[in-house]
A and B are shown apart, each in its own frame.
Chain A
Amino acid sequence: MSDQREEIFQHTISVIVDNEAGVLARVIGLFSGRGYNIDSLTVAAVADNDSTSRITIVTSGTKMVIEQIKAQLERLVPVHVVGDLTLEGPAVERELALIKVSGVGEARVESLRLADAFRARVVDSTSTSFIFELTGKSTKISAFIDLMQELGLVEVARTGVVALSRGKTGLEQ
């Protein structure tokens, strides 16, 4: 198959894994070893007793590659379940970012005004800087960061995407 001609899709994939040493390395190693893309990746323990973690991966590839990625993930021994939130219906996707902006005068006021419009919160401030906390879709965060470029953007930390499917059922039912 010549993949060059085929369309590239972005998918958000949820993986429930045993919370054990090396499990993240297995997942990341799978992606790097087989040449798959990781656009973003988040991981944290989610079970009451910390026995399982949820990994949320945003990846992109042809239809065949996306299918392969899911099959390869399912094959990993500590993986309980793999869900494709892009394919399996509506999902809520959120990312959190901390954005440091430094400036005085009009630029400083403008950054605050835009932050308000984006519903970003100020979580740290000095007389010449702010750290904004912003939650939302990745596109919204990117848009905000773009606007801050001209207003004294210093640095950015982003969590990567977390996501859940809408509706009453979860991945493991």
Chain B
Amino acid sequence: MSSEQMSGAEIVIKALQDLGVDVVFGYPGGAVLPIYDALFQQNRIRHILVRHEQAALHAAEGYARSTGKPGVALVTSGPGATNAVTGLTDALMDSIPVVCLTGQVATHLIGNDAFQEADTVGITRPCTKHNYLVKSTDDLGRVLHEAFYIATNGRPGPVVVDLPKDIQVARGVYRNPGKVRHRSYQPQVKGDLALIKKAAEMLAEAKRPIIYSGGGVINAGPAASQLLRELVRLTGYPVTSTLMGLGAVPAHDPHFLGMLGMHGTYEANNAMHDCDVMLCVGARFDDRVTGRLDAFSPGSKKIHIDIDRSSINKNVRVDLGIVGDAAHVLEDLIKVWKAKAYRPDEKALERWWKQIDEWRARDCLKYKPDDKVIMPQYALQRLYALTKDRRPYISTEVGQHQMWAAQFYGFDQPNHWLTSGGLGTMGYGLPAAIGAQIAHPDDLVIDIAGEASILMNIQEMSTAVQHHLPVKVFILNNQYMGMVRQWQDLSYGSRYAESYTAALPDFVALAEAFGGAGLRATRPDEVDDVIKEMMAIDKPVIVDCQVAKLENCFPMVPSGAAHNEMLLGPEDMGEETSEAGKALV
């Protein structure tokens, strides 16, 4: 390994290059000027100038989710760092590998309330997987390599490296440490074989099995999705997925029951409720998935595979917990299944599928078509039909449109679905789409948005235009914060407190003002043409798709209800949410 004297800023750039970073999303400021100067004097790392630091983080997340590689953000001290906090928390909740470099005031000024000073490591401690304040230029190389190791190994997550300006300026030694072997952080990736054997046995004995897969399968790399598909093929068992896990199993695989949870399908939730053996792979029994905990899948034996031991037995007590990476554990599970020549109980399985098919026959995603007003579900069905051959990357904002996108856009492969699940961050979709488009310049990238969410980071249209990123923003515009309004319908007597947005902008004119293109659809018969036109335009496009204003998203497990107490449509909405349910988020 070579070692030489360089400025701290040069060390940062050199380390990023050695770590294989090809793009950084960022925004300059006083405390990172030395790093920007070093960036300016090289060509290997591309810098994408965003318009708000939150967007730098979401873009880094979009890049990371769509590539499996860590995303990198660079922001200045003080407000730069505090603006990044939402994106960091988002990445923490959804386990996205992101490294965020923050500028900091010079070490001798720390604690003096200097200009643009914030206690960045203090503020970001609870919203990162780990963070560092670098106090010596000689430590920079080691810390940066460690930061990438921690962001990407074990359960992925965001790591902040806070860089005082004097450390960036001082000269020091850089050595590429190569492969990091961390002194305390060594996550377990291989599962305990004895437990895996037990899991295979439990699965083989199941009469009413279900596989419940989550974002951990996506995070474990494309191989994990292939292994999950193999397990499904081998066993013939039904499989459902969390919001985060969509794409691991193809949406149109007959074994796939659709998404589960609050807006999951009738068949997926009922199968979860009635199963006798549940195999949870890389999911975390989130409250949006389980519904009321004491009524969650009451009769089942539960197996939980997770890279993070703290996810096991956190919300739901399981019968068998296996700590390990989804790909490794699934691989071993399949080996055991084959070696023991296990066969599913065909008779029981047939009965189980018959029951599932009855649930399926309810056709829970059906909606009332309309030939005058664009139904949001219809718009997404058309979007899917007309774009699926391009295998687009789909991001979303947060709300009804997000749930409809999850229900109606069929994902056939992992890493193509970028949505803020855990934190539920409105304003996520456009910058995430920008990150994905940077990573996949020739692919179609669509942000399925709501008119309220998109306004939270609309300034990123300017980023897209500057960097020639032809992202498509497909707004389902119902003029309401639809999900807020839906909850007001359910729990607050349809008193729509502040959920209607008066004075919305003209999105077509807005797109044009940014230098992009704007399109509008107001009638169902315009939808196809608008989508085709959108795809044909080689620059950022905003589609203002004006949809039915009061449509609600079904099915729905209301807050505080169990999986088998779903609302399938407006006709089920009679009862107000229970008092206990109202207290839940």
- Which residues of A are at the interface with B, using a C-beta cutoff of 8 A? 1-2, 17-18, 21-22, 25-26, 29, 33, 64, 67-68, 71-72, 74-75, 77-80
Contacts and interface: CB of A to CB of B under 8 A. Distances in A.
A75 B310 contact: yes
B133 interface: yes
B184 A71 contact: no
Contacts of A25: 122, 125
A74 B307 CA distance: 13
Count chain A CB atoms within 10 A of each CB in B126, B133, B155, B310 and give the residue with the most.
B310
Interface stretch (B312-320, B409-417, B500-508): B312-320
B130 interface: yes
A1 B184 contact: no
A64 B316 CA distance: 10
B125 A29 contact: yes
A151 B402 CA distance: 68
Nearest to A80: B184
A79 B184 contact: yes
A26 to B, nearest CB: 6
Contacts of A67: 313
Given A26-B125, A68-B314, A75 B184 contact: no
A2 B294 contact: yes
Interface in B167-220: 182-185
Contacts of B312: 71
Count chain B CB atoms within 10 A of each CB in A33, A71, A72, A80 and give the residue with the most.
A71
Given A67-B313, A77-B130, 20 more contacts: A1-B316, A1-B317, A2-B294, A22-B133, A25-B122, A25-B125, A26-B125, A29-B125, A33-B126, A64-B313, A71-B308, A71-B309, A71-B314, A72-B310, A74-B309, A74-B310, A77-B185, A79-B184, A80-B183, A80-B184
B150 to A, nearest CB: 6
A2 to B, nearest CB: 7
A172 to B, nearest CB: 11
A29 B131 CA distance: 14
B370 to A, nearest CB: 44
B293 interface: yes
Contacts of A75: 155, 308-310
A6 to B, nearest CB: 11
Contacts of A2: 294
Contacts of B309: 71, 74-75
Interface string B295-330: 000000000000011101111110000000000000
25 contacts: A1-B293, A1-B317, A17-B184, A18-B184, A22-B125, A29-B126, A33-B126, A64-B317, A68-B310, A68-B313, A68-B314, A71-B308, A71-B310, A71-B314, A74-B309, A75-B308, A75-B309, A75-B310, A77-B129, A77-B182, A77-B185, A78-B184, A79-B184, A80-B183, A80-B184
B38 interface: no
Nearest to A21: B133
Contacts of A1: 293-294, 315-317
Nearest to A30: B126
Interface in B261-311: 293-294, 308-310
A81 to B, nearest CB: 8
A94 B271 CA distance: 53
Contacts of B129: 77
Interface string B111-144: 0000000000110011001100100000000000
Interface in B4-40: none
Given A1-B294, A21-B133, A25-B125, A77 B184 contact: yes
A81 B213 CA distance: 30
Contacts of A26: 125
A17 B184 CA distance: 8
Contact of B121 (A22, A68, A72, A78): A22
A85 to B, nearest CB: 19
Contacts of B130: 77
A77 B187 CA distance: 10
A166 B555 CA distance: 57
A148 to B, nearest CB: 39
Contacts of A72: 310
Contacts of A79: 184
Interface in B57-112: none
Contact of A77 (B150, B308, B317): B150
A66 to B, nearest CB: 11
B18 to A, nearest CB: 21
A21 B134 CA distance: 11
Contacts of B294: 1-2
A69 to B, nearest CB: 9
A79 B294 CA distance: 34
B183 A18 contact: yes
A1 B183 CA distance: 36
Nearest to B130: A77
Nearest to A26: B125
Q: What 4 A-B pairs have minimum CB-CB distances, sorted nearest first?
A: A71-B310, A77-B130, A80-B184, A71-B309
Nearest to B127: A33
Nearest to B309: A71
Nearest to A71: B310
A36 to B, nearest CB: 12
Contacts of A22: 121, 125, 133
A130 to B, nearest CB: 40
A74 B314 CA distance: 14
B129 to A, nearest CB: 7
A68 B310 CA distance: 6
A17 B293 CA distance: 35
Contacts of A80: 183-184
Contacts of A78: 184
Contacts of A68: 310, 313-314
Nearest to A18: B184
A1 B315 CA distance: 7
B157 to A, nearest CB: 10
Nearest to A67: B313
A8 B540 CA distance: 57
A64 B293 CA distance: 14
Nearest to B121: A22
B100 to A, nearest CB: 16
A2 B129 CA distance: 29
A156 B129 CA distance: 38
A29 B122 CA distance: 10
Contacts of B317: 1, 64
Nearest to B316: A1
A64 B285 CA distance: 15
A78 B130 CA distance: 9
